Amino acid sequence: MLKLPIYLDNNATTAMDKRVLDHMLPYFTEHFGNAASRNHSFGWVAEVAVEKGREQVASLIGADNKEIIFTSGATEGDNLALKGVYEMYKSKGNHIITCVIEHKAVLDACRHLEKLGAEVTYLPVQNDGLVDLKQLEVAIKPETILIAIMYANNEIGVIQPIRAIADLAKKHNILFFSDATQAVGKIPVDVINDGIDIMAFSSHKIYGPQGVGALYVRRKNPRVKVTAQIDGGGHERGMRSGTLNVAGIVGFGKACALRQEEMEEDNKRIVKLRDHLESQLLKIEESYLNGNKVHRLPHVSNISFKYVEGEGLLMGFNKNIALSSGSACTSASLEPSYVLKALGLGDDLAHSSLRFGLSRTTTREEIDYTIEQITKTVEKLRMMSPLWEMYKDGVDLSTIEWNHH
């Protein structure tokens, strides 16, 4: 039996795994201690649980336990990494290299640092969403202290050439930070093999609770330091003060352990579903897949349907299918997605895109229903569109002079 509504916005957040919840429950009631209370058993029990979670999180990314700093999520991690590195290393230089399709948490933190005297280079991307390594190398200067490039993009799922970027950073003795929110727990991420020095990620993208995340900070070759952005008490090796979210950390740890066991199996199934979804939706006339087809996450698909408004499309079926047009974090504005614009898409295509984010619980039935609903809605909206009519009559729409009031 198909249960509506269907949730296909898993890049925004995932449903918590029931096994994760069961694991967390005792830490809300019986084991409610503060992990920093060192002089009684309630505190010790909490501390042991936190350290177990730390071990599970570290294990998923191939790090040492001591390299994991718990945060409230990837946004805080991005801020702590960028601001913390800038403050700690600004005697060495003030130049940061990042990229135009980064998450707003990275872009806005960079804008903030520019006000404090940082110089930031925002690299463009190629039409498929990949960074050009030659351009990256050209951008490096003696003052460069950090390269900040995401592991995988939240809107189009494109995976950047992380190892190659790390090699460049190392060659020039620059730190490499990656926002890996969409990658960790979805594809194999290993900070040692990948050569990453600092990396932010989040629990709620991998079937864990919201409001908890981690920042990996490398301890040797090189030993990385970031200055705290939240002071008080010196928790988390002095990098992030505040009472730890014990239940959240316990859940995050469990979610990481489950991903480590099940990611590969889940992906085989998810990729089949995604490919089925794409093959059917791309049969619709004037529909386009956005981003690199090969270097991308297994569960994400971003498709534009020309001559249809993305918002209108969503209105057509949003009671039954949860999707996003553009990006959830910036959907308060009606601007077309800055990520799609960076790929060189015109406003028309950028505005008409839908992002599909599949999960471990997505079913074939849900995908078939989605294909059917979207196909119907696109056809219906195009029947009402004067642009579609002109296109079908062979009018070259790029030659039309629009009258802007």
Active-site amino acid positions: 329
CA–CA separation, 243 and 221 (whole Å): 30
**Which of 206, 209, 202, 179 minimizes the C-alpha distance to 73?**
202
Phi, psi of 394 (to 5 degrees): 85, 15
Specify whether the CB–CB gap between 150 and 160 falls below 8 A. yes
At residue 293, what is the residue type?
K
82/249 Cα distance (integer angstroms): 23
- 8-state DSSP, 5: S
**Which residues sit opposite 6 in a β-bridge?**
321
- Between strands 353-357 and 300-305, the pairing is antiparallel
Q: Judge residue 119's burial from the number of C-beta atoms within 10 Å of its C-beta, 0-12 exposed, 13-18 middle, 19 or more buried.
A: middle
Phi first, then psi, for residue 218 (nearest 5°) are -60, 140
Tell me the β-bridge partners of 152: 159
* SS3 state at 331: coil
